Structure 1
């Protein structure tokens, strides 16, 4: 594999919480102005960083949230700038924190699953909502 083909390693979380208003499930989506898209918090791993540590760091950087990681969700593969990219995701319950807009992420939305599914930019991300719902159901939290 040449340098141009070297796989990009990234990680993130499908961040969730219970609504204070009705106890319903809410999923966090971030808006990245550079790409004009809505996605889950995620980003490239630092050198020698493990996948889960990278996912938790990215959640904190992009959302200001601390979270409790749960089940690993499906890995997403796609091409980015002519290089293969692998993004590993975890289900993660938000515990504390406050969002502050920054250069990388200018908006954070907490949405019910059906609404989150309709707002996500990439079709491949929608499957991760189903995987989260399945994981929470299996854990007796769904």
Structure 2
């Protein structure tokens, strides 16, 4: 019996960043969240890795694709594992400082917000993503 694609238990590998900057107004820490209209959710920028792609390279590529910003990576944060469409998914994250860029809405991400850590924590759709902000704050 041949397994259908839906029953594939292969681990989905993804990567992303908790993207941060210092506010141009008051110098306080701000965290970037992206809004994905397909899911109507707020999350950290992330995405699936391309075949053979280094996870950090993929994380920085996803940040630039979704936010328009280049980033300077810092420490690796804890990975998050969950089920996505019946398949296990692992997302590796890094803390990353936004260096330069400008957001342009696209099909995947229609809005971004730069928020204080407390506001970002509250805005995140998935509870599991909130722990990443807690991990970032001592840095």
TM-score band by shorter chain is over 0.9
Map residues 111-130 of structure 1 onto 2, 5 A cutoff. 111-130=115-134
Partner Cα separation in structure 2 for residue 50 and residue 19 of structure 1? 30
Q: What is the alpha-carbon root mean square deviation over aligned residues?
A: 0.9
**TM-score scaled to structure 2, two decimals?**
0.95
For residue 100 of structure 1, the aligned residue among 98, 104, 110 is: 104
Matched residue count:
134
For residue 27 of structure 2, the aligned residue among 4, 14, 23 is: 23
1:75 counterpart residue number: 79
Q: Which runs of 5+ in 2 are unaligned?
A: none
Map residues 30-45 of structure 1 onto 2, 5 A cutoff. 30-45=34-49
Partner Cα separation in structure 2 for residue 8 and residue 132 of structure 1? 24
Structure 1: which 4+ aligned runs deviate by more than 2 Å? none
SS of the aligned residue for 2:107 comes to coil
SS of the aligned residue for 2:137 comes to helix
Partner Cα separation in structure 1 for residue 124 and residue 85 of structure 2? 21
Partner Cα separation in structure 2 for residue 40 and residue 121 of structure 1? 10
SS of the aligned residue for 2:106 comes to coil
Deviation for aligned residue 1:96: 0.2
2:18 counterpart residue number: 14
Q: Which runs of 5+ in 1 are unaligned?
A: 137-142
Partner Cα separation in structure 1 for residue 52 and residue 78 of structure 2? 22
**TM-score scaled to structure 1, two decimals?**
0.93
Is residue 37 of structure 2 the alignment partner of residue 49 of structure 1? no
